[in-house]
């Protein structure tokens, strides 16, 4: 039985990631836990966000590491995060903002 990835991306998200990597170089993601940008996946140039001891590496999407805070992980540890792209403005610090689209987290509960 294969282990399901904790995070994956739709084809649209993977295409946007490639476009952003061509512009900005290596990228990283962090699932925002609220505050200014709500609960959304945030895309940064790799190394622009300091990852701390309380962050959990869920996996990679499009060759980019994807982190979530340990506290938020406790709520979502039984779910698979599916990163998608939709029209609109995303988090003001996330790199996709000028593209007229935003990353969006969808989820599904892991089964047996």
pLDDT at position 2:
52
Q: How confident is the model at residue 112 (pLDDT cuts 50, 70, 90)?
A: low
Q: Residue ranges of the domains in the chain?
A: 9-84
pLDDT at position 4:
87
79: buried, middle or exposed (CB in 10 Å: 19+, 13-18, 0-12)? middle
If DSSP states are collapsed to H, E and C, what string results for 32-56? CCCHHHCCCEEEEECCCCCCCCCEE
Pairing mode of beta strands 79-87, 7-9: parallel
Question: What is the pLDDT averaged over residues 50-63?
Answer: 94
Give CA–CA dist 85/17, Å, rounded: 10
Question: What is the pLDDT averaged over residues 84-90?
Answer: 87
Question: What is the pLDDT averaged over residues 26-41?
Answer: 77
Question: What is the pLDDT averaged over residues 35-46?
Answer: 78
Question: What is the pLDDT averaged over residues 26-47?
Answer: 82
């Amino acid at each position: 039985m294969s282990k399901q990835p904790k995070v994956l991306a739709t084809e649209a998200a993977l295409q946007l990631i490639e476009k952003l990597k061509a512009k900005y170089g290596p990228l990283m993601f962090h699932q925002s836990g609220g505050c200014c940008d709500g609960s959304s996946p945030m895309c940064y140039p790799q190394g622009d966000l300091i990852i701390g001891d309380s962050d959990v590496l869920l996996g990679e999407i499009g060759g980019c590491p994807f982190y979530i805070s340990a506290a938020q992980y406790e709520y979502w540890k039984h779910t698979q995060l599916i990163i998608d792209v939709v029209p609109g403005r995303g988090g003001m610090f996330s790199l996709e903002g000028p593209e007229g689209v935003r990353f969006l987290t969808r989820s599904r509960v892991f089964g047996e």
